[in-house]
Amino acid sequence: MSLEKCRFCFSTDVEKYFDFGKQPLANAYLTREQLEDLEPSYLLDVYYCHECGISQIGFTVSPEEMFSEYYYCAGAARTTFHYRIALAKKIKAVLNLKEDAFIVEVGSNDGSMMKCLRECGFTNVLGVDPAVNLSKLAEKEGLNTFNAFFNKQTAEEILRIYGSADLILCRNVFAHVPDIHSFVQGLKNLLDEKGVIMIESPYLPDMISQNAFDTIYHEHVFYLSLKPMKKIFQFYDLEITNVERNKMHGGSMIYIISHSHNGMPNEKINDILAREEKYHANMVEYHRFFQNAADIRSELKYILARLKSEGYRIAAYGAAAKGNVLLNFCGIDTELLDFVVDKNPLKQGLFTPGTHIPIFPTEKLVEEQPDYTLLLSWNYKQEIMEQETKYRAKGGKLIIPIPRVIIE
């Protein structure tokens, strides 16, 4: 089944440019008992809308199936921790909010960002997250969390109980929601007259220029750039007034948005729109993106198979969703990899979806000292290199798959 029309503008002028075939859910880790069961898999392909310029996947899995129990825990990596603290400080300095300003964080996960906001002095922060397990973690820390999917109805309920929001923060959640209209309408209704919406999301042009195809999975319905974002918000009488790029998740964009009558877009917006044009003029960049991903797949498989045949032992680092996408796309499983290590205790003892590789704590890397380790969390390369000095000092080598395959 292919995508018939764009979820935002409803145009039927949509064109497929990336095809993964059928894939399991990238966060659907398995217990040992589940390994024997039939594992569900779903079509995964990406389309460009020639009318509004947005990229989106064709087939969506129900959000309830993906987010009610959630293993991605924002708290895990050190790089993201430092980033959150800096962001909270910036929010305080740049947005000029009072300490009792009402802040709503949509997709608050385990409350890691809310905690940083609290440490910066903000006293009135509400999280919204559908994952029962993560909301409980946040509540334990004394962080007020509304356990629900954010949409028009949830926004109305929050508005009724708490009043309008001075700041609505959406970090890596906006692109996850298939019903984009209900989500943006909810933001519009909940936002105070003088309030600000701050959205952070992977930036598609960065994804393409870095060959970061492993960002594509069922949870990510949309792949965003400024042009379609501007259209979406203008449709609801909201205006993007400023943007900022950062290096998170292989390249992200922060969008600052307010009610249209309150904000004018700054100069930067037009500059970025002009630079984005090559991604909207034709499909060249998109087709090249798919070709590059296919090339990485061939090269990586060839290298791993050769090393294995020469008797080397190979493991992997980072059982995150993106790692699972790469493994499944490339067809790398227990034939080539002995195990994968991950810092997140929620995942240890489980198996990777589709490829069934056992997940262990990171200490196993030094204990077992495999000859090569495939770095699936290539976006945390620096941090991992620093942590694994022992492994590397004993001769362990890292295989970095993206943006291109290299061995260090």
- Residues at the site binding Zn ion, with contacts judged by CB under 5 A: 6, 8-9, 11, 49, 51-52
Nearer to Zn ion among residue 51 and residue 244 (C-beta): 51
Side-chain half-sphere CA neighbours of 81 within 13 A: 6
List of E strands, 24-116: 42-49, 55-57, 103-106
Q: Nearest distance from residue 49's CB to Zn ion, in Å?
A: 3
Nearer to Zn ion among residue 52 and residue 158 (C-beta): 52
Side-chain half-sphere CA neighbours of 181 within 13 A: 6
Which pair of tokens denotes residue 308?
Answer: 């294995």
Q: Residue with the closest Cβ to Zn ion? A: 6
Nearer to Zn ion among residue 52 and residue 101 (C-beta): 52
Could you tell me if 197 and 258 are in contact, meaning their C-beta atoms sit under 8 angstroms apart? yes
Q: Nearest distance from residue 72's CB to Zn ion, in Å?
A: 28
Q: Nearest distance from residue 26's CB to Zn ion, in Å?
A: 25
Nearer to Zn ion among residue 8 and residue 150 (C-beta): 8
CA 77 from centroid of its chain's CA atoms: 14
Give the number of other Cβ atoms within 10 Å of residue 226's Cβ.
25
Could you tell me if 274 and 205 are in contact, meaning their C-beta atoms sit under 8 angstroms apart? no
Q: Nearest distance from residue 8's CB to Zn ion, in Å?
A: 5
Distance CA 212, CA 222 (A): 15
Nearer to Zn ion among residue 49 and residue 61 (C-beta): 49
Nearer to Zn ion among residue 70 and residue 222 (C-beta): 222
Q: Nearest distance from residue 45's CB to Zn ion, in Å?
A: 16
User: Under the phi-then-psi rule, with left for phi > 0, alpha for psi from -120 to 50, and beta for the rest, what region is 21?
Assistant: left
For residue 256, list its beta bridge partners.
198, 242
Q: Nearest distance from residue 44's CB to Zn ion, in Å?
A: 19
Helix (H, G, I), strand (E, B) or coil at 261: helix
Nearer to Zn ion among residue 182 and residue 387 (C-beta): 182
In this structure, the strands spanning 238-246 and 340-341 are unpaired
Q: Nearest distance from residue 11's CB to Zn ion, in Å?
A: 5
